[in-house]
């Protein structure tokens, strides 16, 4: 695990305008589809209505032509300027059946005699007009009018309907396409403009998510612009709610900061105030021991305990004071410092403190210089070495390695002891975290659980990082601080 401000995961890049899955794309596609469906349906219905009107017109022309007496036409070609030409237009076919013989009045080339015979015998033709395909000339609309001893069949070419219908359909198709295109462009403009506040809102949220809210006074200086927080619109309501949420977060953070400051000040004041009485206790104990040559055994023992415990308490108070100071104003005196020398010194101190452990060193050839507070860095490495000494059995090998890497001085203290208990690994750098009581007693009973908290606080104040990798038989505490 690594203890340092974890970088927030990078925010997702904003989606491409009209990209897959975007709301704008959905809105534009759906609006355009709706407009397309309505326009197509409307065009088809209009075409159908016009078709009906044209067919009715053709049918009334047929009725008029059929009601005229046949004699007016005579035989032979139809004169377009007179008679049937005026009634039926070009292409009129007229068959008159009188006493079993029929006569054909139409353009002579239009209908053969055989065709005419087929038409006369077509029983389907009646008073209601019918559309019939005439070989060689195409579709015709026919009506048959039967009188007492004569019948008349009149036909007009169906192209009188199909020709205008074809142009009408082409025109309607073009207009429909135009309408769809215009609605697509319009919908895109409108949707993009309406969703712009939402894009700004998401940019604001991203800015807030990048703020370092875990430290400092919890001031959140970012708000959604008033124009985008107008409750009259749905997006404005989201903007307004977002601003309320930020107010709330800011208030909560400020309250937390105030109470943390209070606790820190209390711990610092209490530790400070405890130093004087502790110094007095130790002084009086020493005075008592010096003042009398022969002390009864139990008094000597009690005096020894008073000295040892007050010594332990002094260390504890010093640790607490240091932590409280690092919390409130983490200002160390950082200057180019020879880390190699500090590592050498601390390891030789450890060697002197315990001959039961094997103390190995792994140093680079060149001196490593870091921006550090020499006194505090010494304390950090000493704490790690003290842990490797007190929390591992005799015979354990402890190696201290130093290297310069990518702008960092990396110090790693590794041992082949039993490892940091799994249940405290996640919180081992927090204050007062230590293994359960039985293990602590084995380690000599003087454990407070502040050592690694100080390591983490001092290293963070250096702008560095601490990390732990531990399993039974292999534990490594690494710290890295910027090179000088
Ligand atoms: N090298 C190690 N091997 C195994 N356990 C370790 C090692 N270093 C630390 N620990 C465990 O982590 C706990 C926390 O260590 P930390 O240095 O913070 O406190 P401590 O050593 O118990 O007390 P203090 O250092 O304040 O006297 C220890 O109690 C111990 O259980
Ligand atoms: Mg310790």
Q: 346 falls in which pLDDT band (50, 70, 90)?
A: very high
The C-alpha atoms of residue 121 and residue 315 are separated, in whole angstroms, by 127
Is the pLDDT at 160 greater than 70, yes or no? Answer: yes
77 vs 428, which has greater pLDDT?
Answer: 428
Count of Cβ atoms closer than 10 Å to residue 456 Cβ: 22
Residues with CB in 5 Å of ion ligand 2: 387, 451
Mean pLDDT value of segment 468-481: 96
CA 394 to chain centre: 54
Ligand 1 atom at shortest distance from the alpha carbon of 387 = 8
Mean pLDDT value of segment 321-341: 88
pLDDT at position 10 is 61
Mean pLDDT value of segment 111-140: 82
Count of Cβ atoms closer than 10 Å to residue 189 Cβ: 11
Radius of gyration (Cα) for the chain, nearest Å? 51
Torsions phi, psi of 218, nearest 5?
A: 75, 25
Summary mean pLDDT of the chain: 86
Count of Cβ atoms closer than 10 Å to residue 334 Cβ: 19
Q: Which ligand does the CA of 450 lie closest to?
A: 1
168-215 residue pLDDT tens: 999 999 999 999 999 999 999 999 998 888 889 999 999 999 988 887
pLDDT at position 239 is 93
This prediction has a pTM of: 0.61
As for ligand 1, residues whose beta carbon falls within 6 Å of it are 383, 387-388, 391-392, 415, 417, 419-420, 428, 433-435, 447-453, 475
- For 148, what's the count of Cα atoms within 13 Å in the CB-facing half-sphere? 0
Ligand 1 atom at shortest distance from the alpha carbon of 434 = 29
Is the pLDDT at 361 greater than 80, yes or no? Answer: yes
pLDDT at position 181 is 96
The C-alpha atoms of residue 1 and residue 280 are separated, in whole angstroms, by 42
Percent of the chain with pLDDT over 70: 89
Strand, helix or coil at 253?
helix
Q: Using CA atoms in the order 436, 442, 443, 445, what is the torsion angle rounded to 10 degrees?
A: 80
Q: Exposed/middle/buried for 392, CB within 10 Å: 0-12, 13-18, 19+? A: buried
Q: Please give the distance, rounded to the nearest whole angstrom, from the Cα atom of residue 176 to the centre of ligand 1.
A: 79
* Contact residues for 67 (Cβ-Cβ < 8 A; gap 6+): 145
75 vs 377, which has greater pLDDT?
Answer: 377
With beta carbons less than 8 A apart as the criterion, state whether 483 and 352 touch: no
Ligand 1 atom at shortest distance from the alpha carbon of 392 = 3
Tell me how many degrees the CA angle 255-260-261 measures, rounded to the nearest 5: 100
Q: 11 falls in which pLDDT band (50, 70, 90)?
A: low
Order of strands, edge to edge, in the sheet holding 408-415? 2-3, 465-471, 474-482, 408-415, 397-405, 358-362
pLDDT at position 80 is 36
254-301 residue pLDDT tens: 999 999 889 888 988 998 899 999 999 999 999 988 877 788 889 999
Strand, helix or coil at 150?
strand
CA 47 to chain centre: 49
pLDDT at position 28 is 94
Strand, helix or coil at 119?
helix
Best residue for ligand 1 mutational test, from 313, 316, 387 (most atoms within 8 Å of Cβ): 387
pLDDT at position 65 is 84
Residue with tokens 């996640």: 426
Beta-sheet strands, E only, within 147-273: 150-157
Best residue for ligand 1 mutational test, from 418, 450, 452 (most atoms within 8 Å of Cβ): 452
Is the pLDDT at 85 greater than 70, yes or no? Answer: no
Q: How many residues does the chain have?
A: 484
Q: Which ligand does the CA of 449 lie closest to?
A: 1
pLDDT at position 2 is 46
With beta carbons less than 8 A apart as the criterion, state whether 113 and 32 touch: no
* Contact residues for 279 (Cβ-Cβ < 8 A; gap 6+): 314
Best residue for ligand 1 mutational test, from 438, 449, 477 (most atoms within 8 Å of Cβ): 449
65 vs 437, which has greater pLDDT?
Answer: 65
Best residue for ligand 1 mutational test, from 318, 384, 447 (most atoms within 8 Å of Cβ): 447
Q: 74 falls in which pLDDT band (50, 70, 90)?
A: very low
pLDDT at position 416 is 96
pLDDT at position 84 is 37
Q: 124 falls in which pLDDT band (50, 70, 90)?
A: confident
Q: Please give the distance, rounded to the nearest whole angstrom, from the Cα atom of residue 449 to the centre of ligand 2.
A: 6
pLDDT at position 214 is 80
Is the pLDDT at 82 greater than 50, yes or no? Answer: no
Q: And the tokens for 161?
A: 């309907």
Least confident piece of the model among 50-59, 87-96, 287-296, 427-436 = 87-96
* Contact residues for 40 (Cβ-Cβ < 8 A; gap 6+): 176
Q: Which ligand does the CA of 421 lie closest to?
A: 1
Percent of the chain with pLDDT over 90: 57
Tell me how many degrees the CA angle 240-242-245 measures, rounded to the nearest 5: 115
DSSP codes of every residue in 66-127: HHS-GGGT-SSSPPTTSTHHHHH-TT-EEEEEETTEEEEEE-TTTS-HHHHHHHHH-TT--S
Q: Using CA atoms in the order 285, 287, 293, 299, what is the torsion angle rounded to 10 degrees?
A: -20
Is the pLDDT at 46 greater than 90, yes or no? Answer: yes
Q: Please give the distance, rounded to the nearest whole angstrom, from the Cα atom of residue 335 to the centre of ligand 2.
A: 26
pLDDT at position 150 is 82
pLDDT at position 217 is 81
pLDDT at position 117 is 78
The C-alpha atoms of residue 342 and residue 368 are separated, in whole angstroms, by 10
Element containing residue 391 per DSSP (H, E): none
Is the pLDDT at 389 greater than 60, yes or no? Answer: yes
Mean pLDDT value of segment 401-427: 96
Pairing of strands 474-482, 465-471: antiparallel
Beta-sheet strands, E only, within 302-378: 335-338, 358-362, 369-372
Q: Which of the residue ranges 101-105, 300-304, 325-329 has the most confident prediction, judged by mean pLDDT?
A: 300-304
Torsions phi, psi of 430, nearest 5?
A: -90, 160
The C-alpha atoms of residue 60 and residue 353 are separated, in whole angstroms, by 124
pLDDT at position 110 is 62
């Amino acid at each position: 695990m690594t203890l340092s401000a974890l970088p927030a995961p990078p925010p997702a890049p904003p989606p491409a305008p009209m990209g897959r899955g975007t709301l704008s794309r959905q809105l534009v596609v759906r609006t355009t589809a709706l407009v397309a469906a309505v326009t197509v349906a409307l065009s088809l219905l209009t075409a159908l209505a016009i078709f009906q009107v044209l067919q009715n017109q053709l049918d009334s022309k047929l009725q008029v032509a059929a009601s005229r007496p046949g004699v007016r036409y005579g035989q032979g070609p139809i004169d377009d300027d007179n008679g049937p030409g005026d009634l039926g237009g070009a292409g009129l076919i007229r068959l008159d059946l009188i006493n079993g013989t029929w006569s054909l009045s139409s353009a002579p080339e239009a209908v053969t005699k055989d065709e005419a015979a087929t038409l006369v015998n077509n029983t389907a033709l009646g008073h209601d007009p019918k559309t019939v395909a005439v070989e060689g000339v195409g579709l015709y609309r026919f009506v048959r009018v039967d009188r007492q001893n004569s019948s008349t069949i009149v036909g007009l070419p169906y192209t009188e309907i199909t020709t205008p219908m074809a142009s009408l359909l082409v025109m309607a198709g073009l207009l429909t396409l135009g309408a769809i295109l215009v609605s697509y462009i319009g919908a895109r403009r409108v949707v993009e403009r309406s969703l712009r506040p939402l894009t700004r809102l998401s940019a604001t949220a991203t800015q807030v998510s990048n703020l370092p809210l875990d430290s400092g006074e919890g001031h959140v200086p970012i708000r959604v612009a008033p124009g985008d927080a107008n409750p009259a619109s749905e997006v404005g309501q989201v903007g307004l709610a977002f601003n309320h949420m930020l107010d709330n977060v800011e208030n909560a953070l400020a309250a937390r900061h105030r109470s943390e400051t209070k606790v820190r000040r209390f711990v610092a004041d209490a530790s400070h105030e405890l130093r004087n009485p502790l110094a007095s206790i130790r002084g009086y104990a020493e005075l008592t021991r010096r003042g009398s040559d022969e002390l009864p055994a139990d008094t000597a023992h009690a005096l020894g305990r008073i000295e040892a415990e007050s010594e332990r308490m002094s260390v504890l108070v010093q640790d607490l004071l240091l932590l409280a100071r690092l919390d409130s104003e983490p200002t160390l005196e950082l200057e180019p410092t020879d880390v190699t020398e500090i590592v050498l010194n601390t390891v030789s101190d450890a060697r002197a403190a315990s001959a039961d452990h094997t103390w190995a060193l792994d140093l680079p050839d060149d001196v490593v210089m870091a921006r550090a507070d020499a006194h505090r860095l010494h304390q950090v490495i000493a704490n790690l070495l003290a842990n490797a000494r007190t929390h591992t059995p005799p015979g354990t090998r402890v190696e201290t390695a130093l290297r310069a890497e990518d702008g960092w001085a990396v110090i790693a203290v590794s041992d082949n002891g039993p490892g940091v208990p799994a249940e405290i690994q996640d919180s081992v750098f927090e204050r007062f975290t230590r293994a359960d009581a039985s293990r602590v007693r084995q380690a000599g009973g003087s454990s407070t659980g502040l050592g690694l908290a100080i390591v983490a606080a001092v290293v963070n104040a250096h702008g560095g990082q601490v990390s732990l990798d531990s399993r039974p038989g292999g534990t490594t505490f690494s710290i890295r601080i910027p090179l000088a």
